[in-house]
Amino acid sequence: MKSKRTFILIMLFISISFLMLLGPVCIAQHAVVSIKDVNVQLLKTRSLAGGTIIREYKISAILQNSGDIPSVNITVKFKEPEPGISGNLTMQPVEYSLEPNEEKTFVFENWPTTLSGQIPLNISFGPSSPTVLLTSDNSNFSLYTLQIENDNNNKPTSTPGFEVLIVLVAILALLLKKQIKK
């Protein structure tokens, strides 16, 4: 009975030692990509005939691989908030594989828009290859709200010189009435 108990304790000790040695070796390695930051910068503003204002923005997204192996090739897309314009726009570089602990900036240089108010910008990323399974480690999205002030408040609401025309017509009417009385 004592030898059986000793045998069980020795086997338990060997099993625990074996698990402690192999535990760190058997940890699964994977790439964990996430959006660290999104930045939107106004490049220029221009006016078209009719008072339409077009603003051009530079959109950049910083992705980070916090995993311990290189990621699959990642593509970052920006969803056009204006319905019917062009759908998903690809940010540069078109595809990129992030090394462990690496950060990479993806940029969309000139995004023109006539929108104003609070504009939701959807930045998403995923594997470049359609054969790679989408997981939470290699695909995600970020919603950035861009606040654009409406410049139409600064425009005059009346036509310059219109009041002068009314005064001139009134003076001519008075003079004509005076001529008719004589």
Q: Is residue 167 part of a domain?
A: no
Q: Is residue 125 part of a domain?
A: yes
Parent domain of 45 = 33-154
Q: The domain spanning residue 43 has which CATH number?
A: 2.60.40.10
Confidence of residue 171 (pLDDT cuts 50, 70, 90): confident
- pLDDT score recorded for residue 155: 52
Per the CB < 8 A criterion, the answer to whether 124 and 74 are in contact is no
Q: What are the Cα distances from residue 125, in Å, to 15, 148, 150, 165?
A: 44, 25, 31, 60
Q: Is residue 179 part of a domain?
A: no
- pLDDT score recorded for residue 44: 92
- pLDDT score recorded for residue 17: 75
pTM of the predicted protein model: 0.67
Q: Is residue 170 part of a domain?
A: no
Token pair in block for residue 129? 């290859």
- pLDDT score recorded for residue 159: 56
DSSP state of 175: H
Token pair in block for residue 26? 């058997």
Give 76 or 149, the one with higher predicted confidence: 76
Q: List alpha helices for the chain, DSSP H.
A: 2-22, 162-181
Q: Is residue 161 part of a domain?
A: no
Give 106 or 47, the one with higher predicted confidence: 106
When pLDDT is averaged across residues 29-36 and rounded to a whole number, the result is 88
When pLDDT is averaged across residues 107-133 and rounded to a whole number, the result is 91
Is residue 167's pLDDT more than 90? no
- pLDDT score recorded for residue 27: 63
Q: Is residue 83 part of a domain?
A: yes
Per the CB < 8 A criterion, the answer to whether 57 and 89 are in contact is no
List own/partner pairs for 34-37 with CB under 8 A and 24 or more apart. 34/63, 34/64, 34/66, 34/140, 35/61, 35/62, 35/63, 35/64, 35/123, 35/125, 35/140, 35/141, 35/142, 36/62, 36/63, 36/64, 36/103, 37/61, 37/62
Is residue 40's pLDDT more than 60? yes
Is residue 20's pLDDT more than 60? yes
When pLDDT is averaged across residues 140-153 and rounded to a whole number, the result is 82
The total of structural domains in the chain comes to 1
How far, in Å, CA of 118 to CA of 149, rounded? Answer: 9
How high does pLDDT run on average in the chain? 84
Q: Is residue 12 part of a domain?
A: no
Q: Is residue 65 part of a domain?
A: yes
Burial of 13 from C-beta contacts in 10 A (0-12 / 13-18 / 19+): exposed
Is residue 25's pLDDT more than 60? no
Pairing of strands 103-113, 53-65: antiparallel
Is residue 182's pLDDT more than 80? no
Q: In what order do the strands lie in the sheet with 74-79?
A: 88-90, 74-79, 117-127, 140-148
